[in-house]
Structure formats: structure tokens, C-alpha cells
Structure 1
Amino acid sequence: MDNLTHSLIGAALAQCGLKRRTGLAMPAMILAANLPDIDAPCAIYGVESLSMRRGITHGPIALLALPLLLAGALITFDRWQARRGKRPEGRLPVHPGWLIALCYLGTFTHPLFDWFNNYGIRLLEPFSSRWFHGDTLFIIDIWILIMLGTALWRSVKAERAGRASWAVPARLACAGVAAYVAANIAISHLAEQQVRNDAPYPVVAVANPVPIAFWQREVLWRTADGWYGSMRCTALSCVRYPRVMRRIGMDDPRIPGLAAKDPAARAFLFWSRMPVAEAGPKGILLKDQRFMNSPARGTFSVLLKPSR
């Protein structure tokens, strides 16, 4: 998910009452919820970063080590402020056990919500480079942002007014997000099943979440004999598009040799879940079916140029 969503998830959990357990709980939860994205600077490598993102920093070793490092840094910061006489008077005492626990909780929410979208995450790196895809939420889900943002505003307002029920809005929002995610899992599953059970009876069907219209899916399908297409579906029905069938094209014998010489192509094929190849006068364009209609589709494509 986007980092605003990750931040709101951490903040909402803290606002549920967890921030009263220890000093620095709120910044710990927000920072921890974004912590695995320390790999984000690799985006400067362009297409090659596809093989770098959501890997080692999202895997088990990092998920065990990073929360401890964050907690240690926050404890050190708190003590440094105390020595300088600049520790805020209103800050609760920092309890290392609680702070570590909250850092782990915030950090674990990150791979969970990254898994919910269709970009992919290598949850077992470095032990396995397998990609996992939840196909549940669009990468920026406006409804989650509204639920969490509104709840945080109401909760903080109630807290400042001295109301005993100040944590209730955040708790209701967290429960609402959980129910919303569960409903979206069901929508994706039912949409995929409809497409698999209809002609041309594809062997692969991926429910691609779409922005805003959470009840709909762009179900991408592939047949065993090399054709692909898509349908717009809800949990109950699908609409077949005109000219639905196109050749996947990945059986072009030139692709392995050309890709072996191109680092960007190797990175793309390592990451790509649904690669498509289109031969043209300039070369062979590799694309991923999941992002062919995305405004950022240029980021998810590589042009293989034949050697002269």
C-alpha cells in the first residue's frame, strides 16, 4: 500500500488505546508501519528496481531485526532528551517491553497490507524469492483512507475534549477496515471463480482491484494455449469485453537470448507475474498484464532491441 495508508494504520492502532501503554508509542507505531519500505530508494534504478523492492526488507530476518533497531533508537532518543533536560513533561515513561511490542505490531502490519494488493511481495526473502499476491485491495484505497482518517480526527478531538470514550472511533475504524478487507477477499475470490468457470475456461484468472469501485474487479485471464484477455466483474456477474483474446507472445524464441543480455529485462521477468510480449519494428516490448492499463504502465515495461 501507499505510505499514507501504512501511516494511518499505525496511528489508528495506537489511537485505539495502545499509545497509553508507553511513551513514544504513537511515533513508534507510525514509523514501524513504514519501516520495511527502507528499500524505497532503490527506485532510482528504474525498471531494475522491480527485482529489489518488497524483498529482503519485507522478509522474516528484517521483520525480526528492524523493530528492535527502531525501539532501540527511540529509547536512546528519549534518554538523550532527558539528559539534555528537553524531554517533554507530558510524555509517558518509556517502557522498553511495550515499546518493542508496539514496534513489532506496527512493522507486521506493513507486509500484511502490501500482500493485499497485486504488485507482489517476497515474504520469505532471503530463504525464498517466491512472490505472494493478495489481489484484494487497490494500492491506494480511498475508502480505507477515509475510514482511518475520519476516525483519527474524531478520536483525537474527543481525547482533547477529555471524553472517556476517545478511543472508540479508532477501534470502530480498525474493525471496519478488517471487515472491509474480508469482504474484498470474498469479492476477488468469487470474481475469479466466475471467469474460470466460463469460456474460454482459462487456467489462470487474477482479480485485479480497481480504484474507488471496490466492488468491481478487472479479472485478467490466460488460457493454456497462449491467449489472454480480461473481464470486468463483480462478485455476482461479469462483462466480457470486445476482442477479448490476444496472444501472450512469450513463446517468441528471441526473448531468452535478448533478455539474458539486458539487466532491466531480467529484473522485469523476475518480478512479472503475467508477462506479455508484443513484437514490433523497434523490438519486442515486454509488459505485465496487471499494469497494461495503468497510467504508470511505462514503469512496468521493457523494450528488447534485437542486436544488429
Structure 2
Amino acid sequence: MDNLTHSMVGALIGQAGLKRRTGLAMPALIIGANIPDVDATCVLLGEMQHLALRRGLTHGPLAMLVLPLLLAVGLWWFDRWQARRGTRPAARLPVRFGWLWMLSLIACLSHPAFDWLNSYGVRLLEPFDQRWFHGDILFIIDLWLWLGMGSAIWWSLRRERRGANWQRPARVAIAATLAYVGLNAGITWANERHAKLSAPYPLVAVANEVPVAFWRREMIIGAGDGRWLVAGQPVGVMPLGRCDLAAARRHDRAVDAFLFWSRAPVILRDGDVLLLGDARFAAGMSRDRFSVPLPAGTCRGTG
């Protein structure tokens, strides 16, 4: 999910009452909910290498052990540093390292859990297993989550300033968010089941989420050979079997990185150039970002 959503998840957890457990709880929750995205810096290695490395190691089990601990140590040190300089806010609660680490861990775990919800997916077991896990449940930027969680945070903070029960709005929002995720999971399950039980009886069915209209899905179906139907329209100019992708991977690092990342590889054409794309992003403005030119001679019968 986008980083605003991750931040609001951390803030809601805090406003549900956990921010009273220790000083610097809210920074631990909000930073912790975003810190697995430190792998975004991999863009410096190039666009395709960035794709291959994103949502992998920093979202896996080793990172879930290391990142919360580093964050807790950093915040604990920051509190001590402010105390030595005489700049520590008097209203800040005492910092309890155990709670600081626990809240950092909860926040960090929320990040891959929410990333799993969309069709982009996450490598939950990296580096032990490089499989993608994906729920195909929510679009990566969900307007309704923004409105619901944002309103609840505002309401909770407003009630806190007035001395009222400020935890309740956040707790209601957490329950509503889980119900919303469950509703969308049911929509996805029904669409994918219907697609697999209907002609042409595909082996693969992806109920791709769409922005705003959470009740709709863009169905991507295929036989596993690189030819796909996206929203009923054929995508792909030839089967993957007509292309020596193994050789292309050996000779082109970008192709290798793209195939490592891709969940639904497809051969596309742009004029006289063949592209390796992904059926999830084969149409619209995202096509250029999620495709890479194939070396000449990779595919047979391209004249």
C-alpha cells in the first residue's frame, strides 16, 4: 500500500490506546509502519533492479527481527540525547524500551500485511523463499481507507483534546477497516472462482483491483503460456515458448530482473521492438514503467 495508508495504520494503533504505553510511542508506530520501504532506495541501482529488489528482503522475517530493534534503539537513544541536552519535552511519558520495541514490531508487521492485500504482492519469506504472496484485495491507493482512517484519527485527536474517550474512534476504525478488507476479500474470491469455472476455463485468474470502485475487479486470465485476456481483451503477441527467455536472462540483467519480479509475464510489441511486460500493467500509463525491451533474436518468427 502507499505510505500515507501505512502511516495512518500506525497512527490508528496508537490512538487505540497503545501510545500511552511509553514515550515516543507514536514515532515508533508511524515510522515502524513505513520503515520496510527503506528498499525504495534501490531505485539508485536502476529501474529493473529496483523492481526485483522491492518488497523483498526488507519485508521478510529477518527484517521483522532487525528493523524494529534498530528503530527502538534509535528512539531510545534520541530520548536520552535530548535529556542530556536539556531539551527533552517535560510532557513526554517515560520511555520504556520493552514497549518501544514491541510497538515498533507491531508497526513493522503491519507493513507487509497491508502490502499483501494488493496484486503487486510481497515476498513474505525472503530470503528463505522468493515466492510472491498476494491477496488481490485492495488497490494500492485506496481512497475509502484514506477517508475512513483519516476521519477516525481526526475524531480521536479532537476527543483527546476535549478529555473524552479518544480511544473509541480509533478502535471502531480498526474494526471497520478489518471488515472492509474482509468484504473485498470476498469480492475477489467470488470473481476469481467465477472466472475459473467459466469458459475458457483459465489456469490462472487474477482479480486485479481498480481505483475508487472497490466493488469492481479487472479480470486477468490466462493458460500459463504468456497469453492473457485482460478485461476480455487479448494481451500478448505470442506464447512465451517461442522466446528463449533463459538466454535473454543470461545476456541482459534488466530482463533477468524483470522476470524475477514479474507475476504474469507477457510478450508485447512496440513498433518493431518486442517487449517483455506484465499482464497486470500491460495497458495504460503504467506499461512503459513495467516493461523491458527484449534482445534481438530472442523470439522466433517475429518478422
Q: Report the TM-score, using the length of structure 1 for normalisation.
A: 0.92
User: How far apart are residue 245 of structure 1 and its match?
Assistant: 7.1
Alignment check: 8 A CA contact 1:258 1:306 kept: no
* Worse-superposed segment, 222-231 or 211-220: 222-231
Matched, 1:304 2:294: yes
Mark the runs of 5 or more structure 2 residues left unpaired by the alignment. Answer: 299-303
Alignment check: 8 A CA contact 1:154 1:169 kept: yes
User: How far apart are residue 254 of structure 1 and its match?
Assistant: 3.9
Which residue in 2 is equivalent to 1:237? Answer: none
Which residue in 2 is equivalent to 1:110? Answer: 111
Choose the corresponding residue for 2:254, options 264, 288, 297.
Answer: 264
Tell me which amino acid in the other structure corresponds to 1:166.
W
State the percentage of identical aligned residues. 51
Q: Report the TM-score, using the length of structure 2 for normalisation.
A: 0.93
How big is each residue's C-alpha offset from its partner over 1:187-206, in whole Å with a ceiling of 9 and x where there is no partner? 10100011111111111101
How big is each residue's C-alpha offset from its partner over 1:267-306, in whole Å with a ceiling of 9 and x where there is no partner? 0011111111135653321110011234222111011131
Distance in 1, Cα, partners of 2:193 & 2:81: 57
User: How far apart are residue 121 of structure 1 and its match?
Assistant: 1.1
Q: How does 1:58-73 map to 2 (within 5 A)?
A: 58-73=59-74
* Worse-superposed segment, 212-221 or 35-44: 35-44
Which residue in 2 is equivalent to 1:182? Answer: 182
Which residue in 1 is equivalent to 2:126? Answer: 125
Alignment check: 8 A CA contact 2:207 2:217 kept: yes
Choose the corresponding residue for 2:263, options 248, 259, 273.
Answer: 273
Matched, 1:229 2:229: yes
Q: How does 1:1-308 map to 2 (within 5 A)?
A: 1-44=1-44, 45-163=46-164, 165-223=165-223, 227-231=227-231, 243-244=233-234, 249-279=239-269, 282-306=272-296
How big is each residue's C-alpha offset from its partner over 1:14-41, in whole Å with a ceiling of 9 and x where there is no partner? 0111111111000110000001111111
Distance in 1, Cα, partners of 2:268 & 2:288: 14
Distance in 2, Cα, partners of 1:269 & 1:201: 25
User: How far apart are residue 253 of structure 1 and its match?
Assistant: 3.0
User: How far apart are residue 244 of structure 1 and its match?
Assistant: 4.6
Instruction: Give me the CA root mean square deviation.
Output: 1.8
Tell me which amino acid in the other structure corresponds to 1:42.
C
* Worse-superposed segment, 26-35 or 38-47: 38-47
Structure 1 pair 282–213 and aligned structure 2 pair: CA distance change class (3 A): same
Alignment check: 8 A CA contact 1:248 1:275 kept: no
Alignment check: 8 A CA contact 1:32 1:70 kept: yes
Number of aligned residues: 297
Structure 1 pair 199–5 and aligned structure 2 pair: CA distance change class (3 A): same
Alignment check: 8 A CA contact 2:239 2:267 kept: yes
Mark the runs of 5 or more structure 1 residues left unpaired by the alignment. Answer: 232-241
Tell me which amino acid in the other structure corresponds to 1:288.
D
Which residue in 2 is equivalent to 1:239? Answer: none
How big is each residue's C-alpha offset from its partner over 1:115-173, in whole Å with a ceiling of 9 and x where there is no partner? 1111121111111111111111100011111111111111101111111x111111111
Alignment check: 8 A CA contact 1:228 1:247 kept: no
SS of the equivalent of 2:33 reads helix
Which residue in 2 is equivalent to 1:238? Answer: none
Distance in 2, Cα, partners of 1:66 & 1:153: 29
